[in-house]
Amino acid sequence: MTFDEVANKLVDGCRTGKTTENLDLLYAPDAVSVEAMDNGNGREVQGLDAIKGKHEWWDSTFEMISGDVSDPFPSGDDRFAVIFEIKVKHKESGEVSDMKEVALYTVDDGKIVREEFFYSE
């Protein structure tokens, strides 16, 4: 896939609920994912299985109420950013929260090799 195809496919998957389905297609097997803060399992994980685990944790912990995903913002031919603005409900407590984050993705050889998330508490 080209850089633009990867960026657009990621955004489309987020908008249409195919985020998990896209992991095998878009991510390198040794990709790295970095959170802005430690949510109990460290800030950084490596490998597609670990990234899938993060998605499984998110899906089991939160219910998506609504959300907006920006178009990709490219930076050169190897990185792009996406802005996520979402409303979620914590499944255990029922607490509803508005969240906003910026994700920075690095692409190499047609696959995402690194993702970094920026947000505040």
Using one digit for the tens of pLDDT, what is the confidence trace for 47-102? 999 999 999 988 999 999 999 999 999 999 999 999 999 999 999 999 999 999 99
Q: In angstroms, what CA-CA distances link 85 with 30, 35, 49, 75, 90?
A: 28, 16, 26, 21, 16
Among 3.50.50.60, 3.10.450.50, 1.20.120.80, 3.30.360.10, what is the CATH number of 3-118? 3.10.450.50
Rounded to 5°, the CA angle 62-101-85 comes to 65
Q: What are the sequence ranges of the domains in the chain? A: 3-118
Burial of 56 (C-beta count, 10 Å sphere; 0-12/13-18/19+) = exposed
pTM exceeding 0.95: no
Distance CA(54)–CA(33), nearest Å, equals: 9
The first and second tokens of residue 41, run together, are: 């399992």
Q: What is the pLDDT of residue 121?
A: 64
